[in-house]
Chain A
C-alpha cells in the first residue's frame, strides 16, 4: 500500500498544484472544467448505482448479473490501463 502511495503521490501533488497554482487566465478554465467533470462523474455514479440496483432487484439471478457486469467493467478498464501506453509501439510489450 505504501509503495502504491509512493507511485501515485506525484499525481496527487499535480492535482494540488493545478488547484493552488493555476495561471491567472487559467483560473476560470480550471474552475469551469473541474465543476463540469465533478457533475459528470456524480451523474455517472448516480446512473450506475440506479442501474445496478434495478438489475439486482431482478430475482433470482439479478445479483449474479451485477457481479458479472462489474467484473467485465474492471477487466475492460484494467486492459485499457495496461495497453494504452503501448498503443503506438505494440512491439515494446514483448521487449
Chain B
C-alpha cells in the first residue's frame, strides 16, 4: 500500500529524514515510533503529499504521489496531530465539507457520515457547533471525517491525544476492524502500549533513520529479549540512560 523509497528531507544543512525506505502491505496496522524530533511527522507529511521530499519517491497503492497526486490522495485519509476544524460549523456540516472535497454524493455523506458519527459516539451532537465540542469530541470528529470517503489507507499522527480511556479503546477497536476489512492503518504514536496492542508491524525512527522494523516480538528479540516493550523502545533508541532528576531537585 505504501512504498516509500530513499526518502530524504533536508532543511538547509539539517537532515530531518535520512534515506528512509518504508514498505507497508495492505490490511496492516503499521506503527511508526520514535522519540521527539526523530522525523516522524516530517515523514508522515511526505507520505501524505503535504511536503515535497528532497529526494526519494512515494507510491500509494501503486500511484506515484509526485505524478498522480490527486488520485493517490483520494485513496487515503489523514488525521494530523494538530487538526484544524471550522469552529462555527456543525459536526455534520464539517462532514459535508470533507465529503465534498472527495466529490462524494450528498445523500451518501449524510448517511455514511451519520453512521460514522454514531460509531464514534458523537451523533447526538452532529447538529451542534464544533465550538461547543470537547477536545476528545473534536478528535473523534476528525477521525470520522477521515474515514468518510472510505479510504484504503488511513495515516494517523498521534491518534490517542485528547481521548479518554473509553475513546481510546473505541479507536483501537475501529482501527483493528478497519484493518480486518482491508484498510491499511499507518500510525505514529508515543503511546507504546497502543502500538504493542494493535500494531502488526512497527518501524522505529531515530535521528531521521529507521533503526528497527518488525513485529513487537521481533523488536523485543532484537533488543535482547526484554520483557516490556517500553524497555525495548528505550534500548533501541538509546534513551535508556536518563539523568538522575533527584540531583536537580535536591540541590
Contacts and interface: CB of A to CB of B under 8 A. Distances in A.
Interface of A: 6, 9-10, 13-14, 17-18, 21, 95
A14 B86 contact: yes
Contact of A10 (B11, B89, B129): B89
B101 A14 contact: no
Contact of A21 (B11, B51, B129): B129
A30 to B, nearest CB: 12
B88 A95 contact: no
The prevalent SS among residues of B at the interface is mixed
Q: 9 closest Cβ contacts across the A-B interface?
A: A14-B88, A6-B100, A10-B97, A10-B86, A17-B88, A13-B93, A13-B89, A10-B89, A6-B101
B89 A14 contact: yes
A45 B136 CA distance: 45
Interface string B107-135: 00000000000000000000001000000
Contacts of A95: 11, 51-52
Given A18-B88, A95-B51, A10 B101 contact: no
Contacts of A10: 86, 89, 93-94, 97
A21 B100 CA distance: 23
Contacts of B86: 10, 13-14
Chain B, interface size category, equals 10 to 19
B90 interface: yes
Interface in B69-96: 86, 88-90, 93-94, 96
Nearest to A17: B88
A10 B101 CA distance: 11
Given A9-B96, A14-B86, 18 more contacts: A9-B100, A10-B86, A10-B89, A10-B93, A10-B97, A13-B86, A13-B88, A13-B89, A13-B97, A14-B88, A14-B89, A17-B88, A17-B89, A17-B90, A17-B93, A18-B88, A95-B11, A95-B52
Contacts of B90: 17
A66 to B, nearest CB: 38
Contacts of B101: 6
A95 B17 CA distance: 14
A6 B103 CA distance: 9
Interface centre among B52, B94, B100 (most CB of A within 10 A): B100
